[in-house]
Amino acid sequence: MSVPSPRTPGWLNWYQNPSTPSFRLPRGTVDAHCHVFGPQAEFPFAPERKYTPCDASKTQLAALHDHLGVSRAVVVQATCHGADNTAMTDAVRASGGRARGIATVRPGISDAELRELDAAGVRGVRFNFLRRLVDTSPKEDLRTIAKKIAPLGWHIVLYFESADLPELEGFFGSLPAPLVVDHMGRPDVNHPADGPEFDRFLRFVGAHDVWVKVTCPERLSVTGPPALHGERHAYTDVVPFGRRVIEEFPDRVLWGTDWPHPNLTGHMPDDGLLADFVPRVAVTSEQQQKLLVDNPMRLYWPGEDV
């Protein structure tokens, strides 16, 4: 048996014993962005990975979802597993149809391999442009993948830094599949939510009918978690960004936990607080129902009842 690799120095483990949220997630809530890591002994990490995390298994993910009152999940392939999707598909298969997957694939993938991923519950691929996470893929390779997945009815999940949008926007707009953007396009929350950078992102969203994940306040926030134990108003500086996307595109927004929160260095969020962030950005019960249930059901389980 191979010796397990040690975690990246300073790696923060996911939060143990998260609090019970004050906000009650509506029946049928979907966590549209979460990951599994390994367990390493069963699903080794990819040699080309940029980090080595702690284990975060499908069983531990399911326990969090039970605790929060989440019914369904979309498991996004984590970069530490490269293009080996077996840990992710194992989690999706084990859900009995209550999870979907987002894969990482290489341009040479065969139609038979894609069909197998589809049968496992995969509904999209992720194109990642964060240089700290992946080596850059040539756009022609990404275009090849996009052409291969489009006939399956899959979509493309885009992960990029807001500063890179101007360079990438034309390419994104030319892709032949629906687009889903991670973490609100990673706005710099030092800039105003009604300023030119976020305006530009929302123009892109409107022009291409993009879906937006209103996720990762803990990753985007500069003000951070609450200073005082018991204070539930965390990540206040991210609120205007989430509110604006939800108000302008109530039918195209998705929510997720991002558990187990890879690569956070300052703090590890209490996932109970992340659920309590929801009503601060989706302020009406109609917005909450769309964000948490109706929109992800339409994208990932079309035609199915909650």
Nearer to ligand 0GY, 29 or 257 (CB): 257
Angle (CA) 27 100 188, round 5°: 85
Please give the residue ranges that form the binding site for ligand 0GY (CB under 6 A). Answer: 35, 78-80, 133, 182, 258, 262-263
Question: What is the SS3 assignment for 293?
Answer: helix
> What's the first-to-final CA gap in the chain, in angstroms?
43
Nearest distance, CB of residue 192 and ligand 0GY, angstroms: 23
Active site residues: 258
Q: What is the dihedral of CA 47, 49, 54, 57, to 10 degrees?
A: -80
Nearer to ligand 0GY, 109 or 133 (CB): 133
Q: Which helix (H) or strand (E) holds 244?
A: helix 239-248
**Sign, Cα dihedral of 48, 127, 29, 273:** positive
Nearer to ligand 0GY, 28 or 181 (CB): 181
Nearest distance, CB of residue 34 and ligand 0GY, angstroms: 8
Which residue bears the tokens 């987002």? 102
Nearest distance, CB of residue 228 and ligand 0GY, angstroms: 27
Nearer to ligand 0GY, 84 or 247 (CB): 84
Closest listed residue to residue 153, CA positions, set 38, 276, 300, 263: 300
Strand order across the beta sheet in which 30-34 lies: 30-34, 72-76, 99-103, 122-128, 155-159, 179-181, 211-213, 253-254
Nearest distance, CB of residue 262 and ligand 0GY, angstroms: 4
